[in-house]
Amino acid sequence: MIEEKTLQEMIGKIKACEAEIGRGIIGQRGIIRQLMLAVLADGNVLLEGVPGLGKTEMVKAVSKVFSMTFSRIQFTPDLMPADVTGTNLIIKEEGSNVFQFEKGPVFANLVLADEINRATPKTQSALLEAMQEQTVTVGKTTYPLPQPFMVLATQNPIENEGTYPLPEAQLDRFLFKLLVGFPTKEELRTIMDITVTNENVELQPVIDANDIIMMRKAVRDMPVSDAVMDYALTLVMATHPEFKASPETAKKYVACGASPRAAQAIIKTAKAMALMEGRYNVAFDDIAFVAYPALRHRLILNFEAISAGFGPDYVIHEILEAVKPV
Amino acid sequence: MDEQIRKFVYRIRGRLREQQVVSNLVNWSACGLLAADVISLASLVVPFYYAVFSAAVIVALLFAAGAVIGICKTPKPMQAALQADAKGYKEKISTAYFLIGREDAFSRLQKKDALQVMEGFAVRKEFPVRLPGKRLALLAVLALVFALTIQVDTPARKEARTKHRVGQEAKEDIARLEKVEKQIAEHKDISSKEAEMLKEQLKQAGEEIKEADTLAELKKAEERIAKKLEMAAGRMENETLSEIAQQGAKEAEDAAAGREEELAKAAKEAMEQAENGSKKDKEKACESLEALADQTENEALEDAAASYRDSDYAQNEYKNAQKKLENALNGDGVQPGDKQEYAQGGNEQQGEQNPSGNPGEGNGGANGQGGSGNGSGEQGQSTGSGWNKGSKEGGEGPGRTDESITVPEGEVGSDDNLTGKANSSGNRETGKTNQSSAWSGSKVNYGKVSGAYKEKAYKKVEGSNYPVKLKDRIKNYFDGLN
């Protein structure tokens, strides 16, 4: 049973983590917060943004502050699954040749799958088991991945030629899809001050893997009232155009609504959000806040929405407007 | 901890209920007043006597409904907690209420956190019981509209009042007739033929009363009933029945006389008010006179009211108006030299009729009533008809219901059918033929025929555009045929 003191300490540490990451990453406060939510909710994140926005730096900062082992895999079309998961190598041992499993880069607490959409679906799917089961199976042997484990994948929204868009099944395995935007002028100035001068920001670890595991447990214990749970579920249901009670926008623009995983993602991250804010309960605002990153990659819009130039965020906004808390 | 949370939530709920009741009362009352306004406005053009009463009932009912619904619609405790959370408390209160009974670490911490919030929660400030200003203003406007529209007097309202009064009076008259009918039924010794005849009279009387639209018509109907019953009493062989009929006649007569007196008194009062009162009183008096004129269909009263109004309350003009009014109240019906009323005989006319059914010769005592007063008529000759002043209700001859008359088939007879006279040699030839209308007709009871004639005449008169007075006269004539 988690004691009050422990919980208070956890909340303090989370706030300290957020502040420490913020020291190394200029701006992107919302993205940092959502990244941390994903870490606390035990989920994987898909980061989408044009190159040079600091996605990799952000992931590195997270791993450093969280004292997590970090590995980066640059996805390219010729990347093979074994390059991700690892492979059996023949090694001479006491005069005989034996197979020994050589762990791939996926064996780390934090895996950065850079430009994931550039690899072939076969390689992309190599990550599936790791992301969902947090295990890797090579041959007949299944290897557990180190805990805590999470995948942070990035993809470039432009330069789509020669890419392999992630299939829906794989997209659904990402807890959040975060859109990394361009920094403001002030933020850009600060970035310049840090990166093009001799000034160097050395980030310090604030928590370790055990802390993260405990925090994840605390998040799962967080109570959610019926009303809040009902709101979250209503939101997910509202993304389905086939339901009578769905808002008109969903009926008009959504081809396929969010899966039950979306509801799980919303509830888990809303709980994490409450903990991050030092509360012991989930609020409607938490649900609304996490609805965008949790739903945007799970909604499949129809041609009408695409031709009208409406993205998932517009549809989610309209759904949030239509579905009000009790 | 749980108890504190529960108490807090119930306190919020109580405040919400109070607000709900207040809002509902205002809203439903506004609806009621809106309905009242509609009724009131409608009653300006559509005669509806119970407009105020109906409006009051609707407002009262909706007010009560508002209170009841307000109480019934009180939010549930969880809804109350959520409403408290909506004040910026991030669902702490509702979660604490949801966690009542749970004792794990998180639940305890959450409830503790919520209690801290509750301590600083000013329930009265956060949930004030406010009167909805705009709606109250609307309520006031609607009430004002009602109050103003209900003051306006229109022809429809006058008609409604008259109809209501006539209806009330008619009810009393019908009750009197029913009483008479009951008395007839109670006496077993009365022959069924006579009892049926009287009942038929009473039935007809009841229908006439029901048809009356104005007091004047009602009064005429009462007078007719009084006469009919009086005559019926004279014809009755059975003494008891005769007494009952006479009593009924007297009551009807008294009712008519009472009405006359009442109207005269009201007119006199109005006149006095017009003379002595303030300008407003005078205006009111004029309206009263007009109302009386409407009710009684008395032209003299109407003229008097018009004179008052047109005079602009100049002292010398009052005299003219007063003179007209006095004439009206004196019952002359008309001013001397202005009009002459034709009346048939009098109340006590003793007409005789020969067997062939021709009108008999007799003296008519002309004690008829004309206008709203009594006048004495001159004695008539021959048919009992005569000229008199103010007598418009002619008397009726004795009943001839038992007499047989011939109803011809309407064919013209031929001279050949006439009985031949003796020729010079003293011979004469007599032949029978069925071509004569005298032979081809049949003999029927007079009472049956006169009833049918009367009915036809009534229908014809009702469908015509004769003046009302003439219609009355025609009806009176056919009433006298019984």
Distances (CA, A) of B391 to A69, A148, B333, B399, B471: 127, 120, 9, 22, 16
**Structure confidence by residue, pLDDT tens digits, B116-130:** 888 888 888 888 888
Q: Are residues A6 and A125 located together in one domain of the fold?
A: yes
% of chain B with per-residue pLDDT over 70: 63
Q: Are residues B165 and B244 located together in one domain of the fold?
A: yes
Is B433 part of a structural domain of the chain?
A: no
Is some CB atom of chain B closer than 8 A to the CB atom of A243? no
What are the average pLDDT values for consecutive 10-residue runs of chain A, which has 326 residues? 78 88 82 90 89 82 88 91 89 85 91 89 85 86 90 83 83 90 81 68 86 90 91 94 90 91 94 90 92 92 90 92 86
Contact present, B181 and B202 (Cβ < 8 Å)? yes
Is some CB atom of chain A closer than 8 A to the CB atom of B171? no
Q: What is the pLDDT of residue B415?
A: 54
Task: Supply the mean pLDDT for chain B.
Answer: 71
Question: Quick count: other Cβ atoms within 10 Å of Cβ A52?
Answer: 8
Question: Quick count: other Cβ atoms within 10 Å of Cβ B462?
Answer: 11
**Inter-chain CB proximity A225 and B106 less than 8 Å:** no
Q: What is the pLDDT of residue B189?
A: 66
Question: Quick count: other Cβ atoms within 10 Å of Cβ A316?
Answer: 25
Q: Are residues A214 and A81 located together in one domain of the fold?
A: yes
Q: Are residues A256 and A183 located together in one domain of the fold?
A: no
Torsion of CA B21, B22, B24, B29, to 10 degrees: 130
| Listed residue (B328, B323, B165) closest to B259, CA to CA | B165
Least confident of A102-106, B100-104, B399-403: B399-403
Q: Which of A159, A186, A218 is the last residue of a domain?
A: A218
Q: Are residues B457 and B360 located together in one domain of the fold?
A: no
Q: Are residues A28 and A149 located together in one domain of the fold?
A: yes
Distance from CA of B145 to the nearest CA of A (A): 40
% of chain B with per-residue pLDDT over 90: 4
Is B261 part of a structural domain of the chain?
A: yes
How many cross-chain Cβ pairs, A to B, lie less than 8 Å apart? 67
Contact present, A112 and A152 (Cβ < 8 Å)? yes
Contact present, A152 and A47 (Cβ < 8 Å)? yes
Q: Are residues A10 and A48 located together in one domain of the fold?
A: yes
Least confident of A36-45, B15-24, B363-372, B408-417: B363-372
Q: Are residues B383 and B474 located together in one domain of the fold?
A: no
| Listed residue (A160, A250, A150, A127) closest to A209, CA to CA | A150
> Domain holding A271: CATH number?
1.10.8.80
**Inter-chain CB proximity B106 and A222 less than 8 Å:** yes
Is some CB atom of chain A closer than 8 A to the CB atom of B87? no
Q: What is the pLDDT of residue A137?
A: 87
| Distance between CA atoms of residues A195 and B237, nearest Å | 135
Of B94, B104, B107, the CB nearest to A227: B94
Q: Are residues B55 and B86 located together in one domain of the fold?
A: yes
**Structure confidence by residue, pLDDT tens digits, B254-294:** 777 777 777 777 777 777 776 677 777 777 777 777 767 76
Q: Helices in chain A by DSSP H: which ranges?
A: 4-24, 29-40, 55-65, 81-85, 121-133, 168-171, 185-195, 209-221, 226-238, 248-253, 260-276, 284-295, 303-308, 312-322
Name the CA radius of gyration of chain B, rounded: 39
Give chain A positions within 8 Å (CB) of B99.
223, 225
Q: Are residues B293 and B346 located together in one domain of the fold?
A: no
Least confident of B60-64, B122-126, B297-301, B355-359: B355-359
Distance from CA of B92 to the nearest CA of A (A): 6
Is some CB atom of chain B closer than 8 A to the CB atom of A283? yes
What domain range is B325 assigned to? 155-330
**Inter-chain CB proximity A225 and B95 less than 8 Å:** yes
Nearest CA in chain B to A282: B91
Is some CB atom of chain A closer than 8 A to the CB atom of B344? no
Determine the residue among A217, A221, A273, A280 to mutate to test chain B binding: the one whose Cβ has the most chain B Cβ atoms within 10 Å. A280
| Distance between CA atoms of residues B35 and B65, nearest Å | 14
Of A3, A227, A279, the CB nearest to B82: A227
Is some CB atom of chain B closer than 8 A to the CB atom of A270? no
Residue B344 β-bridge partners: B385
**Inter-chain CB proximity A2 and B105 less than 8 Å:** yes
Cβ partners under 8 Å of residue A118, min gap 6 = A75, A76, A77, A162, A163, A164
Contact present, A190 and A60 (Cβ < 8 Å)? no
Q: Are residues B162 and B279 located together in one domain of the fold?
A: yes
pLDDT of residue B75 exceeding 90: no
Query: What confidence category does residue B356 fall into, taking pLDDT thresholds of 50, 70 and 90?
Result: very low
| Distance between CA atoms of residues A232 and A282, nearest Å | 11
pLDDT of residue B251 exceeding 50: yes
Burial readout A134-148 (b: 16 or more C-beta within 10 A, e: otherwise): bebebeeeebebeeb
**Inter-chain CB proximity B79 and A326 less than 8 Å:** yes
Least confident of B191-195, B431-435, B476-480: B431-435
- What's the number of CA atoms in the CB half-sphere (13 Å) around residue B250? 7
Nearest CA in chain B to A229: B95
Question: Quick count: other Cβ atoms within 10 Å of Cβ A293?
Answer: 27
Q: Are residues B73 and B86 located together in one domain of the fold?
A: yes
Contact present, A46 and A87 (Cβ < 8 Å)? no
Cβ partners under 8 Å of residue B51, min gap 6 = B39, B40, B42, B43, B150, B160
| Apex A30 CA angle, A29 and A36, nearest 5 | 90
Total residue count of chain A as it appears in this document: 326
Question: Quick count: other Cβ atoms within 10 Å of Cβ B263?
Answer: 21
Q: Are residues B44 and B77 located together in one domain of the fold?
A: yes
Give chain A positions within 8 Å (CB) of B95.
223-225, 228, 280-282
Give chain B positions within 8 Å (CB) of A224.
95
Residue B413 main-chain phi, psi, to 5 deg: -75, 160
Is B415 part of a structural domain of the chain?
A: no
Highest-pLDDT range among A195-209, B20-34, B441-455: B20-34
Residue A185 main-chain phi, psi, to 5 deg: -60, -40
> Domain holding A26: CATH number?
3.40.50.300
Q: Which of B126, B151, B176 is the last residue of a domain?
A: B151
Contact present, A171 and A132 (Cβ < 8 Å)? no
Residue A178 main-chain phi, psi, to 5 deg: -110, 135
Least confident of A20-24, B353-357, B427-431, B464-468: B353-357
**Inter-chain CB proximity A284 and B91 less than 8 Å:** yes
Query: What confidence category does residue B339 fall into, taking pLDDT thresholds of 50, 70 and 90?
Result: very low
Q: Are residues B394 and B444 located together in one domain of the fold?
A: no
Is some CB atom of chain A closer than 8 A to the CB atom of B84? no
Give chain A positions within 8 Å (CB) of B103.
none
Q: Are residues A234 and A166 located together in one domain of the fold?
A: no
**Inter-chain CB proximity B92 and A226 less than 8 Å:** no
**Inter-chain CB proximity A7 and B105 less than 8 Å:** yes
Q: Are residues A120 and A74 located together in one domain of the fold?
A: yes
Q: Which of B115, B132, B151 is the last residue of a domain?
A: B151
What domain range is A297 assigned to? 222-326
Q: Are residues A96 and A214 located together in one domain of the fold?
A: yes
Is some CB atom of chain B closer than 8 A to the CB atom of A40? no
Q: Are residues A182 and A317 located together in one domain of the fold?
A: no
SS3 sequence of A202-254: CCCCCCCHHHHHHHHHHHHHCCCCHHHHHHHHHHHHHCCCCCCCCCHHHHHHE
Query: What confidence category does residue B321 fall into, taking pLDDT thresholds of 50, 70 and 90?
Result: low
**Inter-chain CB proximity A7 and B99 less than 8 Å:** no
Q: Are residues B247 and B350 located together in one domain of the fold?
A: no
| Distance between CA atoms of residues B197 and B467, nearest Å | 31
Give the three-state DSSP class for A140: coil
Give chain B positions within 8 Å (CB) of A4.
105, 108-109
| Apex B51 CA angle, B48 and B56, nearest 5 | 165
Q: What is the pLDDT of residue B236?
A: 66
Of A227, A280, A285, the CB nearest to B113: A280
Q: Are residues A117 and A4 located together in one domain of the fold?
A: yes
Q: Write down the pTM of the prediction.
A: 0.61
Determine the residue among A281, A287, A326 to mutate to test chain B binding: the one whose Cβ has the most chain B Cβ atoms within 10 Å. A281
| Listed residue (B388, B395, B351) closest to B370, CA to CA | B388
Q: How many domains, chain B? A: 4
Q: Which of A195, A218, A241 is the last residue of a domain?
A: A218
**Inter-chain CB proximity B90 and A325 less than 8 Å:** no
Query: What confidence category does residue B296 fall into, taking pLDDT thresholds of 50, 70 and 90?
Result: low
Max CA separation in chain A (angstroms):
72
Q: Which of A218, A246, A267 is the last residue of a domain?
A: A218
Q: How many domains, chain A? A: 2
Is B209 part of a structural domain of the chain?
A: yes
| Distance between CA atoms of residues B88 and B305, nearest Å | 72
**Structure confidence by residue, pLDDT tens digits, B141-183:** 999 998 888 888 888 888 888 788 788 878 887 887 787 777 7
CA B4 from centre of chain? 66
Q: Are residues B39 and B12 located together in one domain of the fold?
A: yes
| Apex B314 CA angle, B313 and B318, nearest 5 | 75
- What's the number of CA atoms in the CB half-sphere (13 Å) around residue B36? 30
pLDDT of residue B383 exceeding 60: no
Give chain A positions within 8 Å (CB) of B106.
2, 7, 218, 221-223, 280
Nearest CA in chain A to B100: A225
Q: Are residues A192 and A232 located together in one domain of the fold?
A: no
Q: What is the pLDDT of residue A293?
A: 94
Contacts 24+ apart (CB under 8 A), B262-267: B263/B215, B263/B292, B263/B295, B263/B296, B263/B372, B264/B329, B264/B372, B266/B292, B267/B292, B267/B301, B267/B325, B267/B328, B267/B329
Q: Are residues A149 and A88 located together in one domain of the fold?
A: yes
Distances (CA, A) of B460 to A109, A218, B212, B448, B463: 111, 100, 18, 19, 5
Q: Are residues B305 and B193 located together in one domain of the fold?
A: yes
